[in-house]
Amino acid sequence: MIRKSLLLGTVLGLAACGGEIPPPDVVARMGGAEIELAAFERYLEESSIDLDAGLGDRVLSRLFDEFLDETLLLQAAVDEGLVDAGGTRREALEALLDVQLEAELTDERVLLYYRAHSDRFDRPERVRLSQILVEDRATAEQALQELASGVPFEEVARRLSTEPAAERGGDQGFLGRDDLPPAFADTIFELEVGESSEIVAADYGFHVFQVTERRSAELVPVREAADEIRGLLRRTESQEARERLVEEARGRYNTSVYASNLPFDYQGIRTQQARD
């Protein structure tokens, strides 16, 4: 439980509710619904905030305002049929953001971003690389002998290689020169597709490489980059969209704070409203 401090001597926010004195466990009223102190305490616990950490009045006031704003968003999402009444605050925010940003992240905006950041979608020459990594040269020589006799690279990698990708035949995915240690890059990029390297020694073992596919440098088409661009824009604009949603919800639902029922000196953004 939040530790009680000196409470205000008068009930604040009564005028907003027609002079009705709220029950002592009710700390706010939102669109006619009562908000109890226990709900705020659960919110703090779910947010992994230590209730016995001695948080000051200003910090608790800010957290209480955030709690009310997230409760507003949850109610808005429920009223708009975006989440069920039992939905979480996170689900509500994501649902509201989906609607808000879907209307803004149009194909035209995606294209404008693509043109302004075309260098971001330049893809260098890449190879799909597989490798066998072993601890000693003798095992590396064994791997080369088996490859020379026609044993598939994937099979040799699964049996002899010691690195994590061994179980998938040593496949490392597509890599550019900048993704590789400089000591390996030239050797790897000189390989033809299907060709295996000689033994390449390193401080931590011995490599045998094989290139299984090659892709030329290219500019990724906008249609292929569209999802990535929308994701980037969503991440950068979500906070601004959230602030707009909160402002809309504050105007939509009349909220009164009963500051005298809070176990701290409320100093939040609704102070004036609470005292009217």
Q: Where are the domains of the chain?
A: 15-104+234-275, 125-216
Question: What pLDDT does 17 receive?
Answer: 42
Residue 149 clears pLDDT 90, i.e. is over it = yes
Question: What pLDDT does 271 receive?
Answer: 59
What is the token pair recorded at 114? 């693509």
> What's the pLDDT tens digit per position in 167-185?
999 999 999 999 999 989 9
Residue 6 clears pLDDT 50, i.e. is over it = no
39-43, 79-83, 92-96, 191-195, range with greatest mean pLDDT: 191-195
125-216: which CATH topology?
Answer: Chitinase A; domain 3 (3.10.50)
Question: What pLDDT does 103 receive?
Answer: 67
**What is the C-alpha to C-alpha distance for residues 12 and 258, in angstroms, rounded to an integer?**
5
Residue 20 clears pLDDT 80, i.e. is over it = no
Q: Round to the nearest angstrom and report the end-to-end CA distance of the chain.
A: 29
Question: What pLDDT does 106 receive?
Answer: 82
Q: Which has the minimum average pLDDT: 151-160, 236-245, 253-262?
A: 236-245
Mean pLDDT, residues 90-102: 81
CA atoms 127, 132, 138, 144: torsion sign: negative
